[in-house]
Amino acid sequence: MIGRLNHIAIAVPDLAAATALYRDTLGGDVSEPQTLPEHGVTVVFVNLPNTKVELLEPLGEGSPIAKYLDSNPSGGMHHVCYEVDDIIAARDRLSEQGARVLGDGEPKIGAHGKPVLFLHPKDFNGTLVELEQV
């Protein structure tokens, strides 16, 4: 059901500093910042030959990333994103198998303009999983 790894997301307390680190120190190809109010984050993507790294900064106090950074002030890996062909079929299959879809269970549009869902980390070895329809 899952396809290729789309990206690994890292929560950061300072997006400008993290962008500079990945761009200037590591020599990465970093996108322009993108504000996603519906997800409560501002993001940039570090484009790699085989995947991407998403750097996430909270957008306001109510952001889920703000809560994550309360527990992890230096930041850290937040989630992994896998591609799926049909997000509704994937959601239904996973739900039937007991996996918990976060939120209201309906896909939202993600940073790439495609439908996404998140799966509860307790169901996936402590890792928050994002599914993105390709």
The answer to whether residue 61 scores a pLDDT higher than 90 is: no
Instruction: Let me know if 130 is a catalytic residue.
Output: yes
Active-site choice (54, 57, 130, 132): 130
**Residue-range domains of the chain with CATH:** 5-133 (3.10.180.10)
Other CB atoms within a 10 A radius of the CB of residue 46 amount to 22
Task: Give the count of beta carbons closer than 10 Å to the beta carbon of residue 37.
Answer: 10
In angstroms, what CA-CA distances link 38 with 63, 78, 108, 109, 111? 10, 18, 9, 9, 10
Question: Is the pLDDT confidence value at 82 over 90?
Answer: yes
| Overall average pLDDT of the 58-80 stretch | 95
Stretch 22-42: mean pLDDT, rounded? 97
Question: 108: pLDDT confidence band, cut at 50, 70 and 90?
Answer: very high
On whether the pTM is more than 0.85, the answer is yes
CA neighbor of 101 nearest in space, from 88, 109, 91, 86: 91
**62: amino acid identity, one letter:** G
Which residue has tokens 């549009």? 109
- Structure confidence at residue 121 (pLDDT): 97
